[in-house]
Structure 1
Amino acid sequence: MTASMPSWHLEPWRRLQQRRQRQAMPHALLLAGPEGLGKRLFAQRLIQSLLCDQPADGEACGSCRSCRLLAAGTHPDRIGLGLGLRKDGSARTEIVVDQVRELSARLAMRSQFGGWQVACIDPADAMNPAAANALLKTLEEPAEQTLLLLIADQPWRLPQTIRSRCQRIDFQLPDQALALDWLQQQGLSAAEAEAALLAAAGNPGLALRWHGAGELAWRSEVRQDLAGLAQGRVPLLEVVRRWQDSHPAQRLWFAAQAAVDELRARAVGEAPPLGSRLDEQGLLAWYAQVNLCREQVRGPLRLDLLLLEILSGWR
């Protein structure tokens, strides 16, 4: 299994295995960093390792009873907590206090197999304040051989009281050479890897996903839309409708990166590639506004009005 581990996982994995050998595993781990860097793959690997009946060199065997139960999703000592569903069947947008209380009650019981029990909260940064407060008691009074795994793409959303009670592993963007090498190992050509990594702002996981799903074409569309708006060639409402109807969060990501490209061009005295008429301060403010809108896409605000404000500002 080690051969397939992304290179940027090797060091945190090594440190955890050293702690495990010293019988000094933390009772709570926060896996933090941008989406696309493999935090969930890392968590899955760690859970398999801890629950395996006969691990070798820190790796799960894949064939024992525990490994088979994990693969089937029925291991009694592996507990997952996510957004879940409301009583009416609709998807939740946050983790609520009743979910955390149920989890805490479960963790207060002994492991059914007599070893580790592992609870994974994902996305942990979706806990509302009441849920986060309810988790504190479990963090402060951990049961023996119990590990709480918190996974957060936006760890700053977690209260400091939660963050301070977890050992934190930060997943950061790898060096470009490592990212390109990894993408080529996944089957991309050198040119494909470079183009995808550029579109994903150096994030190899997102680059691979977007390449495989054909989503990189949206980057060109977004840049064409922004160039057309800057030059007055594209109707504003037409762009708003197109972005609203087709993967708005993804298009906003590419829009934010376009603003960065405009800023870089200005910094070296070149003409902005998309012809933006905003000055440096205007571009910085627009970049911040786009990122805020990305967070609001699934919220209660009307997306068409948010997009209209943003794209009007660009034009």
Structure 2
Amino acid sequence: MSAMPWHAADWVRLQARRQRDALPHALLLCGPAGLGKRVFAQRFVRGLLCARAQDGEACGQCRSCLLLDAGTHPDVVTLSFGLRKDGTPRTEIVIEQIRELSARLAMSSQFGGWQVALIDPADAMNAAAANALLKTLEEPAGQTLLVLLADAPWRLPQTIRSRCQRIEFTVPAVDEARTWLEGQGVAQAQVALDAALGNPGLALAWAQEGALERRIEVRRDLAALAAGRGQVTEMARRWLDDEAAQRLWFAAQAVADERRAQAVQAAAPLASTMDGEALAHWYDAANRTRDALRGPLRGDLLLLELLAQWR
């Protein structure tokens, strides 16, 4: 499994603990999406369970590796969003799932080695599920490893976080990220990194899916509204129909650039008549709107209100 260069230090530390037979019973892999937490977790679990691992790297050919490839390894369970009784996917991990997981981990390993449970996204557990998991964390079975993955670890209770060995994934140095992106075939590596605020995994995904063109369009839309052109209703509908949350990310980024330009009395790219304080308020509102899109409120009304404030 391909390693990302900014994983190296955490990988070495974790393997050193494994060699000392001092692995924790629970790991919390956390940090922004796009930094390879899940790649790291899968790579580590494969090496942990592999019968012929070398320096923590799985051989890819033993029985354990083949079962992992097929998704049928009996000592690995992945817990994520389940289905409701009507067949629709849940938006949170619930207590029944944690109880089933705890019962599974209470049984002996079928291969006589490690049992591994991955909870992803762990920050989607509701309060009851988190409380149920706490008992398993407090009374871990031997050779059982819980791996929690979270983009927003602050949503987890402190009681959960304090009982896990935390590995924090952070944005790497610009040169390292750009070199890696160029190695992935991204022609506009620096532009993609700027769009993703230095996050190389996010930059790669956005470069591949055409998000950089969407970023230009968002800035063009905001400049048009600032100049009194464009229709708010049409713009809100278009944003809602095509990656609204991503567009709001780009909008907030554009307004931050506008505020910085005003502060140094440079040519502001959006030519807004808002002052620095108003731009800061709109920046916060754009981020709140992006979060609110995940909730029950109507997205079209949220975007209409935000864009009307900008105009």
Inter-partner Cα distance in structure 2 for 1:81 and 1:277: 49
Inter-partner Cα distance in structure 2 for 1:163 and 1:287: 30
Normalised to the residue count of structure 1, the TM-score between the two structures is 0.96
Inter-partner Cα distance in structure 1 for 2:133 and 2:273: 49
Question: In the alignment, which residue of structure 1 is the partner of 2:298?
Answer: 302
Aligned-pair distance for 1:295?
A: 1.9
Aligned-pair distance for 1:285?
A: 2.1
Question: In the alignment, which residue of structure 1 is the partner of 2:237?
Answer: 241
| 1:17-36 map, 5 Å | 17-36=15-34
Aligned-pair distance for 1:114?
A: 0.7
Which whole-Å deviations, capped at 9, do the CAs of 1:233-257 have from their partners, x for residues lacking one? Answer: 0111111110111111111111111
CA RMSD of aligned residues (A): 1.1
Question: In the alignment, which residue of structure 2 is the partner of 1:206?
Answer: 202
Which whole-Å deviations, capped at 9, do the CAs of 1:233-285 have from their partners, x for residues lacking one? Answer: 01111111101111111111111111221122123221321122222222222
Inter-partner Cα distance in structure 1 for 2:272 and 2:28: 40
1:112 is aligned, of 110, 113, 120, to: 110
Question: When the two structures are aligned, how many residues end up with a matched partner?
Answer: 311
1:292 is aligned, of 288, 293, 296, to: 288
Does the alignment pair 1:313 with 2:303? no
Question: In the alignment, which residue of structure 1 is the partner of 2:136?
Answer: 138
Partner AA of 1:142 in structure 2: P
1:154 is aligned, of 138, 152, 159, to: 152
SS in 2 for 1:93: coil
Partner AA of 2:84 in structure 1: R
Partner AA of 2:249 in structure 1: W
1:59 is aligned, of 48, 51, 57, to: 57
User: Which sections of structure 2, spanning at least 5 residues, go unmatched?
Assistant: none
Aligned-pair distance for 1:214?
A: 1.5
| 1:137-286 map, 5 Å | 137-189=135-187, 192-286=188-282
Normalised to the residue count of structure 2, the TM-score between the two structures is 0.97
Which whole-Å deviations, capped at 9, do the CAs of 1:130-167 have from their partners, x for residues lacking one? Answer: 11111100111111111111111111111111111111
SS in 1 for 2:211: coil
Inter-partner Cα distance in structure 1 for 2:238 and 2:279: 23
Question: In the alignment, which residue of structure 2 is the partner of 1:7?
Answer: 5
Aligned-pair distance for 1:312?
A: 1.5
Inter-partner Cα distance in structure 2 for 1:296 and 1:151: 23
Aligned-pair distance for 1:296?
A: 2.1
Aligned-pair distance for 1:84?
A: 2.0
| 1:70-149 map, 5 Å | 70-149=68-147
Partner AA of 2:211 in structure 1: E
Question: In the alignment, which residue of structure 2 is the partner of 1:43?
Answer: 41
Inter-partner Cα distance in structure 2 for 1:148 and 1:278: 49
Aligned-pair distance for 1:290?
A: 1.6
SS in 2 for 1:63: coil
Aligned-pair distance for 1:309?
A: 1.5
Which whole-Å deviations, capped at 9, do the CAs of 1:48-83 have from their partners, x for residues lacking one? Answer: 011111111111110000000000000011110001
SS in 2 for 1:216: helix
Inter-partner Cα distance in structure 2 for 1:261 and 1:267: 10
Inter-partner Cα distance in structure 1 for 2:278 and 2:45: 46
Inter-partner Cα distance in structure 1 for 2:137 and 2:298: 38
